[in-house]
Structure 1
Amino acid sequence: MSPFNLQTCARPNILALEPYRCARDDYKDDGTNILLDANENACGPPLTATAVSTASMGAGAEIDFLGLHRYPDPHQRDLKQLLCDLRNTHVHTDKTITPDNLFVGVGSDEAIDALLRCFCVPGRDSILVCPPTYGMYSVSAQVNDVALVKVPLFPAPGFGLDVAKVKEALSSEEHIKLVYLCSPGNPTGSLLGKEDVRAILEHPTWNGVVVLDEAYVDFAPAGTSLAEWVAEWPNLVVMQTLSKAFGMAGIRLGVAFASPPVALLLNSLKAPYNISSPTSALASYVVSPEGLAAVSVNKERLVRQRNRLLEALPKIRGVGRLRGGIDSNFLLFEMLNAHGDPDNATALAVYETLAENKGVVVRFRGKEHGCLGCLRITVGTEDEVTRFLAALKQTLAEVNGEGLPASAYDPLKETKANGVVA
């Protein structure tokens, strides 16, 4: 019999790992559920059948499906140039970023992991995060045997960066190599101040990298992205994705903007040919002028529904305060108990009842710093928002013991009366 023992053979940090979880680990999509849990683009990809069939690969060629026996372009310079064209707004600098400033990977998660492997020595170094924030920073840190230093954001509703405490930690903790900042934040939906980010970049003694995660930045006002700022700051990396505003979560395309030396390091350590030819072609179409026009239309539709939720949710008995910002495609709202207090038991009951009995999946965030009693609600289509509002009103009444029948609430009638239906 083999003496194999998993507990002594595997790395201890991996045995202790708590993997990233999502609501769909508990509630699978059966084709009828409304999925407002993962901050996907409810409008879908900005593609037509014609667009898919003519999506370009680099210099205008159509996707050659018979050419899939060949490895894809390992450098993706044409796609990188399109991404540079998108972010060279010259709002934040007169300098211009080029493909030499880019790393493209399999979602932003690859960039998160690549930065850890690039800069952190396992078992010695650490990263700094600012809860509440995206869970994959800590998961990737544990996978790489890298310690975690936490400096919470200021309390809601602002969820701003506590610059003084971040700078203090960078001065006192010798082995912090990376600071992961999320703007707009997840689950906060709030933008971090540009000058707050600058203050961290200008720390006088810290030798490390600020990683700014801008996954949702295209739902914020135009010109918000600091991607082009990597031309000014060699210690800044800005991560973005095509999964959110661009509606292309299924192709798993993430981007990291960085100074050329840092981008070279990231590109040197990644797996070869990691971006498939179909992924590259579809991504190139989506960030082309034609694709961006369709992205803009879908984004406007979602912003209208975001405004509708902001108008309708506070009118529902049992819904409390908006606890985050409005610069993403999701909102963070309190759920109140029968006494009118934000309450995790109530929020969890609403979350479970919505999913199990109403076919509406949102995300419970009540256990995160500053998010007591909160649900994170992804903005859906007009029909999805209508169904969600009705389901939420009935569910809150049931959870808080009022027993209100579903017929007592007509969100479509109410919101049309207030002029907020798109």
Structure 2
Amino acid sequence: MTKVTAAGATEWQGGDLRALGARAYLDLGTCINRYGPPTSVGSALRAVDIRSLRAHPYDAEELFVSAYAEYLGADGGELVAGRGITEFIRLLSAHFPTRSTAVVTPDYTDSIRWITNHVGPDAGVPETAETRAARVAYAMRHYECVLLSNPNNPLGLYVPSEELAAICRDNPRSTLIVDEAYIDFADGGSQRSMIWSGLGNVVVLLSPNKLFGIAGTRTGVMWTPDAGLRAAIRARQLNWSISCLDALVAAEALRNLGWVAHSRSRLSATANRMEALLRTRYPGVVTGVPVHYRFVYTEDAEREHERLLRHGVVVRVFSGAQPGRVSGLRITAPTEAEYPVLAAALRGD
């Protein structure tokens, strides 16, 4: 078989397959719901009157926020709409002083890019929800602002919201920003969100992009009860933060609660099957996490990435030599129909 390589794969964003050429791959390198988007989204797009694209998107933000607030059961007045969670990470990192802002690592690409103070795990200590909670407490004692992805990207570990709330109450002078891009995949979904903490020193970042498989749109919200912070972030945003097509797709997707429950159940079952299979090949699988992806600790991450490429499967590869990273693979659960492709790749040489 022809050797397949992908130089610089540790620098790729999940889902960026441009370096791989024309061959078709099963892309398990980005953490979207592979059952999405709901079919009703396609119907809504086909019904668009292109004349509606002439005007500026005056109503787009209102359409998106109202649909998301209804989905969450939250107060829309406490939500700021933006172009995905990434925009808010950048804006918040500019709002809070650099020297007094930290991120608990390992974490998401843009978190470790925009926030240079990293509170990482001790060498040789296995990462758990408990170790992450302890580092949040440490960071909030020493920094004005702390960012945490929860469930974590890339490990999938989840610190219960009540534990984080207790830490925030103990550290009222520090603000905790919680990136909850994957909270919808956990049992209870958004009802486990920190937006229900009732605390003034909490900021929550949410997006429908992952759950509904619509990462090609850029939609997300920042929640905080702090009206001053909401105003400060809005002042930093560009005009027209949400396009009319972004809002249309997200609002239509958010109405599909039955689709959410069904696809989430199927993904969870496949993720558990995948976890069992991964454990037969790799000793370093992070198990028992409430998300649809699994992380595999391995020092041979790039070699394993290339081996899976030869079998037509793309996974996300991380290098422990990079700041805020640990060495390993992140693999998203395929659909039921795609699972045999992954199983064959994992069993192959």
Residue deviations 1:221-262, cap 9 Å, x none? Answer: 0155324326x1121111111221111111111121111502
Distance 1:165 1:189, change over 3 A: closer
Query: Quick one: distance in 2 between partners of 1:328 and 1:300?
Result: 11
AA aligned to 1:363 is R
Displacement of 1:214? 0.8
Of 91, 102, 126, 1:114 maps to 91
Displacement of 1:178? 1.9
Instruction: Show the counterpart of 1:76.
Output: 61
Residue deviations 1:239-297, cap 9 Å, x none? Answer: 11122111111111112111150223222321111210111111111112xx2222333
Displacement of 1:52? 3.0
Of 241, 246, 249, 2:212 maps to 246
Instruction: Show the counterpart of 2:286.
Output: 323
Give the gaps of 5 or more residues in structure 1: 1-18, 55-62, 89-96, 142-146, 335-342, 396-422
Of 11, 21, 45, 2:37 maps to 45
Query: Quick one: distance in 2 between partners of 1:29 and 1:251?
Result: 24
Query: Quick one: distance in 1 between partners of 2:257 and 2:66?
Result: 15
Tell me, yes or no, if structure 1 residue 282 matches structure 2 residue 259. Answer: no
Tell me, yes or no, if structure 1 residue 67 matches structure 2 residue 52. Answer: yes
Instruction: Show the counterpart of 2:195.
Output: 228
Tell me, yes or no, if structure 1 residue 148 matches structure 2 residue 117. Answer: yes
Instruction: Show the counterpart of 1:15.
Output: none
Instruction: Show the counterpart of 2:3.
Output: none
The percentage of aligned residue pairs carrying the same residue is 25
| Higher RCO by CA contacts (8 Å cutoff, separation 6 or greater) | 2
Displacement of 1:303? 1.7
Query: Quick one: distance in 2 between partners of 1:20 and 1:394?
Result: 26
Contact 1:158 1:325 in 2 (8 A): no
Query: Quick one: distance in 1 between partners of 2:323 and 2:273?
Result: 27
Give the gaps of 5 or more residues in structure 2: 1-9
Contact 2:154 2:295 in 1 (8 A): yes
Query: Quick one: distance in 1 between partners of 2:95 and 2:325?
Result: 33
- RMSD after superposition: 2.8
Q: 3-state SS of the aligned residue for 1:259?
A: coil
Query: Quick one: distance in 2 between partners of 1:227 and 1:301?
Result: 26
Q: Which TM-score applies when normalising by structure 2?
A: 0.85
Query: Quick one: distance in 1 between partners of 2:151 and 2:135?
Result: 20
Contact 1:366 1:374 in 2 (8 A): yes
Displacement of 1:212? 0.7
Query: Quick one: distance in 2 between partners of 1:36 and 1:196?
Result: 31
Q: 3-state SS of the aligned residue for 1:298?
A: helix
Displacement of 1:325? 4.0
Tell me, yes or no, if structure 1 residue 362 matches structure 2 residue 315. Answer: yes
Q: 3-state SS of the aligned residue for 1:76?
A: helix
Residue deviations 1:343-374, cap 9 Å, x none? Answer: 513x321211211x222111223527998763
Contact 1:34 1:360 in 2 (8 A): yes
Displacement of 1:69? 1.8
AA aligned to 2:206 is Q
Q: Which TM-score applies when normalising by structure 1?
A: 0.71
Q: 3-state SS of the aligned residue for 2:20?
A: coil
Q: 3-state SS of the aligned residue for 1:311?
A: helix
Instruction: Show the counterpart of 1:313.
Output: 278
Of 98, 106, 128, 1:158 maps to 128
Instruction: Show the counterpart of 2:332.
Output: 378
Distance 1:311 1:81, change over 3 A: same
Tell me, yes or no, if structure 1 residue 203 matches structure 2 residue 188. Answer: no
Tell me, yes or no, if structure 1 residue 353 matches structure 2 residue 345. Answer: no
Larger radius of gyration between Structure 1 and Structure 2: 1
